[in-house]
Chain A
Amino acid sequence: MTGEAIAFYLLAAVVTAFALGCVLASNIVRMALCLLGTLGGVALLYFLMAANFLGAIQLIVYAGGTLIVIVFGVMLTSRAYGTKLRVRPLEMIGAAVVTLALLAGLTAILVRTAGPVVSPSTPDFGVAQIGTELLSTYLVPFEVISVLLLAVMIGAAYLVQPEKK
């Protein structure tokens, strides 16, 4: 077993543990931190696969995202009264259906595309190449996503406006 494989299995175990913690915790701030652990672990997996740019972006985006989840968690739930999140049986069945469908889909994709996993061999595959590709080959999807995000931002800003009397 190579060092890379050992690191992968260790990281995978950590990610799984944090994911379980995220589902099982009943306190929203702890949940958010477990989520951060999961996403950070995935970022480390990216670093392990020499996808440095993806790893760093994962950390930046999700660290900020988790921050906002924590803020909402603190603002929306009051610790003083010990609010705990409980799941009703009906909700559990719905969640099970959705997750099983997702699992089946992912497994199908994995089985179909599974091949020998190779480490990236080109040393110059870096952030510069990603930037060039984004602004040449994938320019249209990139711009579409940008416009979509802009629309989302405008919508959010419109929604939080105080009502005019």
Chain B
Amino acid sequence: MANFTVEDALRSRWSASAKPRAVRTFAVLGIVLAVAALGLGYLASSAPGAGYWLAVLGTALAGVAAMTCLGAAFVIQFSRLVGTWLFRLAFLIFVGGLVGIALLAWVPALLYEQVDAAVADHYGAGATGVLTVADLEAVGWALPTDSIEVRRQGAVGWAPPTDSIDGRGKAVVGSAHPTASFLAYALWPLQFRLTRDILALVGVVGFVSLLAMFTIWWERKVAGRMQSRLGPMRVGGWHGWAQSMADGIKLLQKEDIYLEGADRPLFKLAPYIAFMPALALFLALPFSAAWICRDLDIGLLFILALAGIGVLGVIVAGWASNNKWSLLGAMREACQMISYEIPLGFALLVPVMTTGTLRLTAIGELQAGGFHTWLAFQSPFTLAAAVLFFTATLAACKRAPFDLPEAESELVAGVYTEYSGFRWSLFFFAEYAEMFAVGALAAILFFGAWYSPLPANWGAAWLHGPLWQRALYGILFNGPLWLIFKGFFFLFVQIWLRWTLPRIRLDQVMYACVQVMLPLSMLVLLGATFWALLVPHGSMLAVVANLACTALGVGAVLAIIGIVFYGYSNRRQLVGTLAIEHWPGS
């Protein structure tokens, strides 16, 4: 690789230019400062009056400086020793870190779920009882919930760890199982709504950022492969995995340009109007029945409302840019959004009518019994509604073939023409976040939500087993992993369509909506209504329709797998040798 990459820059800074001298200097300075801090601390213990406070201040400053110097020396020495290996293994470390974080987040969540269920058993759903560390210990060791002794003390929340004293006035903490006590302490803050909300918010922001960065890289790789190119290959070493990070750093450094004639406050505000709703809708999006920030009874409506506000950001951006191309893009977006909202709404009414609720967790919970119970396979109308919903969300997310607001070949970059740097990247964060959100919504409403294709009751025995069995249940039957997997599958379908289909003209977009999708969605809604009225659950017709739709779905999946195998076996003709040589593992 002849090109100079971010990796090279980092490597040269940390290993080549950092001479051993620097390490020695930092280390010696750090030791001297540490000794000074200790000396000052000794003085402080006996000095009188103001001298005491001066000595304390000196101790603190010297201590911080010493730690900084020693830390710098350590970092430089460490990166000199392992720097080369670090960059070679960067991808593995990155993935390992992500998996580790996910597991770390998951295990307390599983335990917490159990604790919450125990509280609900005693006090009814939604109530917060008073549990002690002893109860948490019992949960940590997966004892049956009957053995958990819950004491109501009038206060809200569980008793804090220090209060957990048994009948003989002896502290329970750490008495029986040291590990369990540690777990109990770690879990204890989770009882507070505030802690959980902060964790959820941090999780949502982190997830959306990682999601956008990963998906942009993924889209570029997929686009490359579909066009017999390689896509990003340089940054980070393994297939350019760090490309999005490098792009992000570049975008942050760019100048924040706006035009002389632009409506400055609106121009600056528009990216946030687009981005904030895309972020906020994840608050009501369940990743599983328990993994949700706020389980609203109108979850579906809430997500729709926020998606509708996000569109305004794009339109304001196009208008405020004071640029013909941007304005044309904005008008196209408005036109498209107003039209496609109607078939989208009709398509959404079908699952709502079938399940009788707007609560997303409730809709998901109804699809627990294996893939034939998924909502899309219940009747021909729900299957049609799933297809209509997916098509309408393509238009709502401005994805090809409906990406007219951006339309690089006609409108320069459409509404994004005048944006640069951070504001520009916010639009794309919003777009990719919404793409995942609609994919996840499609999975929740039609394709089994967070359940695997296996019936969840096969693993019912594991649900109350020890921790490893519950974790395995979470992987095999029911858990956020499945929703994320399904969401990414629909994301991939969106990417796939974008690089396969040509962009259609505006009049074709309107024709497709008003003349095709609108009547079809009305028919589907009408059909679903009569189906719900006339075909009782479990009747012959319902079973036959269910089987036929399931067979159709399975056939589609098998067809996709077949196409993949065909493509793989003919890869030399289809993709070309350049890409084949860089295939992972070849």
Contact = CB atoms under 8 A, between A and B. Distances in A.
A59 B331 contact: no
B288 to A, nearest CB: 22
B298 interface: yes
Contacts of B312: 33, 36, 63, 66-67, 70
Contact of B334 (A57, A71, A123): A71
Given A71-B334, A74-B319, A74-B327, A52 B304 contact: no
Given A33-B266, A59-B308, A79-B322, A53 B298 contact: yes
B298 A127 contact: yes
B285 interface: no
Nearest to B337: A67
B298 A63 contact: no
Interface residues on A, range: 20 to 34
**Minimum-distance CB pairs A-B, first 3:** A59-B305, A56-B301, A63-B308
B338 A67 contact: yes
A105 interface: no
Interface residues of B, number: 30
Nearest to A43: B305
28 contacts: A27-B263, A33-B312, A33-B316, A52-B296, A53-B298, A56-B304, A59-B305, A59-B306, A59-B308, A59-B309, A60-B308, A63-B305, A63-B311, A64-B338, A67-B308, A67-B334, A70-B312, A70-B334, A71-B315, A74-B319, A74-B327, A75-B331, A126-B297, A127-B298, A127-B301, A127-B358, A128-B297, A128-B357
A22 interface: no
A67 B331 CA distance: 10
A30 B316 CA distance: 9
Chain B interface main SS type: helix
B302 interface: yes
Contacts of A103: none
Nearest to A27: B263
B341 interface: yes
Interface in A22-60: 27, 29-30, 33, 36, 40, 52-53, 56-57, 59-60
A59 B307 CA distance: 10
A42 to B, nearest CB: 13
Interface in A86-139: 123, 126-128
Nearest to A79: B322
Contacts, number: 77
A29 B308 contact: no
A68 interface: yes
A47 B496 CA distance: 39
Chain A interface main SS type: helix
Contacts of B297: 52-53, 126-128
Interface in B283-307: 296-298, 301-302, 304-306
Given A29-B319, A70-B319, A60 B338 contact: no
Interface of A: 27, 29-30, 33, 36, 40, 52-53, 56-57, 59-60, 63-64, 66-68, 70-71, 74-75, 79, 123, 126-128
A97 B125 CA distance: 54
Nearest to A64: B308
Interface in B323-346: 327, 330-331, 334-335, 337-338, 341
B315 A70 contact: yes
B172 to A, nearest CB: 34
A52 B302 contact: yes
Contacts of B337: 67
Nearest to B322: A79
Contacts of B301: 53, 56-57, 60, 127
A71 B331 CA distance: 7
Most A C-beta atoms less than 10 A away, residue of B296, B304, B335: B296
A67 B297 CA distance: 27
A66 B315 CA distance: 11
A116 B342 CA distance: 41
B323 to A, nearest CB: 11
B298 A67 contact: no
Given A33-B266, A64-B338, A67-B334, 19 more contacts: A30-B263, A30-B266, A36-B312, A40-B309, A53-B298, A56-B298, A56-B304, A57-B301, A63-B309, A63-B311, A63-B312, A66-B312, A67-B338, A68-B334, A70-B319, A71-B335, A71-B338, A74-B319, A79-B322
A52 B266 CA distance: 29
Contacts of A127: 297-298, 301, 358
Contacts of A52: 296-298, 302
Nearest to B320: A29
A48 to B, nearest CB: 14
